[in-house]
Structure 1
């Protein structure tokens, strides 16, 4: 056999091997499912996101992968429901208030004043069969698949001066969002809305005397402890917001049962990790940064009563909203916050 024959065979063998390898690589690539997952959080939860992505990859043996996008990278957060319905995104992690114009229950499930006062209470509410049925139906009508909930953390009052009761606030101007402002108005408390980036100037110049915005860690991050140090637990809404995970129906149905379970477990872990991160952040604020107090129990109960106007405004939007509000009312009565 001459050199030319050997070379030809070697080349043909190499080409055959390369083609076979390429075919296997293509097949492996085709078997790998990649999901575009978009959150409203930024880089602050990157370690949590990395854990989530690694879990999904490892649990699936590499056959399911998460392509992760932070807040604002592909789609504005208030467009999440529409984007996942159209298939621009496969899974979104947002807040019902973002899409309340598209999904009737959005504001209610995101969190109304007086709706719940502990994480355990909120989880029990959303874990009930009745609430799960309402959520599943509402999001199906919006051409999405409801996957589950996440839970925020503290959402309370920061003021320059101590607060011992709601009556103390009647001579102070408080920054609040619209629904909270409606409740405070019931008690004769003046309110104004300012975006987060204006709270420091507003507090330091006396435009506002206090704010209802978040927990100790959020106030510290905004350096508001330089202008006000009295933090009052209002027992108005804890967690102060809830988070919602939605999927594109076609993408979800195309997943195997194994992939659906892995993804569901991964999302539950991701949501719990975010909640724990928020809790640790609030608990980790240095001692002495704020002086803590709690509204009297009677005042906190009155907040739920005063919030009924807000609840009924939402209930009037649809029969489904009324059904969800009915669940909240029954729970508030069971908890002793409503008669």
Structure 2
């Protein structure tokens, strides 16, 4: 049955107004000042901003917001990177609203696991969560566009920001789809970078041709490089590398450290592709209860959370690079030409999965619109494939790092 993306006219209008009047463009001062003026508030700007996160100051503006407490549930622990980012979001909102908006936070997945968060926030059992969109590819297919970009982490956030907030058609499609599950997407955090990890030294993609390569995803893209694929999963990567079952893998940088791949493979190469991390989402009914100037505060809080996630990622990488050097690991990067080639392969692979899912769900036209704009923004030539009968198994990912 075709998945229904047609929501009520009131919902669509509300989403359109929210996107236009509270635009999350980088020129945040202008957007907020316009909103304040249109709604007759006495404040010319909600917050004082500069382009440098560390230099920003919070100004508590007059609010028409009634006091409320937001319930925020997350799988992240409070001292995890994700937990720290949530704290930054919350602290900004509390300060900017003068405590009018308070929070009750449930860390560590005490209310819901990864696969339950969407239902929890959509039902209104909680007001907000940090959602791993890749876990809901069949529920939120348009929001599961290929969730990575090159050549750095900021580019990945800018890419997601453009599709979900800035570009009129794709933002309305994606937010309307989210509205079916009674949520509104506020922002994204950094997903970090990815590395090739090899037992033997290599400098470019050509060196991977003919290698036995352990992979749990992105197999067609790796096969296009001439890799001899050995199916595996993250739990087996360390031991299989140590035993010589395969010579190389690709993993998220943080994942490679957590798995201690550096113990058995001494050559790391950044692939130049960075993921989009968790999305900050809010229950649509809760969003409707926020005054316009409070919504502007939430948007700015999401921007600051994104910036903070980049800062945390950068600090983490710096510390781990020192550790890798001490462990005798060489760390390099793909050249620009190889990065472009690899990113194109990943995008094409991801887009194929998106289109197959769209055919199954009956949303081909909408998916083509999202992917076409995604490719245009990233400077890629892409056109939709001819319809096929290929299916994507529910829950299979085309958006994250293996």
Q: Does residue 155 in structure 1 map to residue 194 in structure 2?
A: yes
**In the alignment, does 2:291 pair up with 1:245?**
no
The residue number in structure 2 matching 1:313 is 353
Q: Deviations over 1:106-161 (max 9, x none)?
A: 431533xxx44333433443233244333322212332112122222211211111
Report the Cα offset of residue 60 of structure 1.
2.2
Partner of 1:92: 129
Could you say which residue in structure 2 is the equivalent of 1:272?
307
Secondary structure of the equivalent of 1:154? strand
- CA separation in 2, counterparts of 1:165 and 1:109? 23
Candidates 357, 368, 375, aligned match of 1:322: 368
Give 1 or 2 for the bigger CA radius of gyration. 1
Cα distance in 2 between the residues matched to 1:49 and 1:309 = 32
- Which whole-Å CA distance do the structure 2 matches of 1:229 and 1:338 have between them? 36
Task: Name the stretch that deviates more: 128-137 or 324-333.
Answer: 128-137
Checking the alignment, whether the CA contact within 8 Å between 1:33 and 1:63 is kept in structure 2 is yes
1:190 alignment counterpart: 228
**Paired position in structure 1 for 2:36:** none
What number of residue pairs does the alignment pair up? 300
Give the TM-score taking structure 1 as reference length: 0.78
Label 1:59 to 1:37 Cα distance change in 2 as closer, same or farther (>3 A): same
Aligned residue for 1:224?
261
Where does residue 208 of structure 1 map in the other structure? 246
Give the SS at the match of 2:109. Answer: coil
Question: Which consecutive unaligned segments of at least 5 residues does structure 1 have?
Answer: 1-30
Distance apart, 1:184 and its partner CA: 0.5
Q: 2:342 maps to what in 1? A: 303
- 1:61 to 1:85, Cα distance in 2 relative to 1, 3 A: same
5+ residue gaps, structure 2, are 1-65, 384-402
Aligned-partner Cα distance in 2 for 1:147–1:244: 7
Provide TM-score, normalisation by structure 2. 0.67
In structure 1, the residue matched to 2:139 is 102
Change (3 A) 1:40 1:156: farther
Q: Is the 8 A contact 1:182 1:310 kept in 2?
A: no
2:152 alignment partner in structure 1: 118
Q: CA deviation at 1:100?
A: 0.7
SS at match of 2:268: strand
Kindly state the Cα deviation for residue 274 of structure 1 after the two structures are TM-superposed: 2.0
Would the aligned equivalents of 1:145 and 1:248 in 2 still touch at CA under 8 Å?
Answer: yes
Asked if the contact 2:182–2:285 (Cα under 8 Å) also holds between the matched residues in 1, the reply is: no
